[in-house]
Amino acid sequence: MGLRVLAVDDEADFIETLVKRFTYRQIPVTAAGNGPDALAFLEREPFDVVILDMRMPGMDGLAVLQEIKKRHPLVEVIILTGHASVESGMQGMSLGAYDYVLKPVDFGELLEKAKKAYERKKLNESRADA
């Protein structure tokens, strides 16, 4: 079926741009504006990669990451973080995130990491089925 992306960020303009860029490349993408909505989407439909902002009001990215990994351990997560918070990206990786990308985002870099995360998910799924 191919890569399916869930993009999670509270900045409406940013998330709209991400959706347009993935859609232009024929990659199915769903947008969520906060952590609880993202978790609800994950319960209803399958995603391969979650692109997750660290700084959101209410439930922050690390809390969302922990819930994703608890409920959907094979879903890969790429963290979005600001220059001043590289340590939160590293912390996220220690909690199971695939990688992190600094904001402002280079879409080419994000797309490449999403494709590699998808490959890792497929590999892990095949191991789980074996």
Complete edge-to-edge strand list for the sheet that includes strand 99-103: 29-32, 5-8, 49-53, 76-82, 99-103
Q: Is 67 left (phi over 0), alpha (psi -120 to 50) or beta?
A: alpha
| Structural domain harbouring 18 | 5-68+75-129
What predicted TM-score, i.e. pTM, was given to this entire model? 0.94
Over residues 74-89, the pLDDT tens digits come to: 999 999 987 667 777 8
For the four alpha carbons of 59, 36, 80 and 17, in that order, the dihedral sign comes to negative
| Predicted pLDDT of residue 130 | 67
The DSSP secondary-structure symbol of 83 reads: G
Over residues 98-108, the pLDDT tens digits come to: 999 998 899 99
Over residues 42-51, the pLDDT tens digits come to: 999 999 999 9
Over residues 17-35, the pLDDT tens digits come to: 999 999 999 999 999 999 9
| Predicted pLDDT of residue 83 | 62
- The helix/strand count (H/E) of the chain reads as 5, 5
Closest CA to 101 of 64, 49, 31, 58: 49
Structurally, the chain folds into a number of domains equal to 1
> Which of the pair, 109 or 86, is modelled with greater confidence?
109
Q: What is the mean pLDDT of residues 50-55?
A: 94
Kindly report the CATH number assigned to the domain that includes residue 20.
3.40.50.2300
> Which of the pair, 128 or 4, is modelled with greater confidence?
4
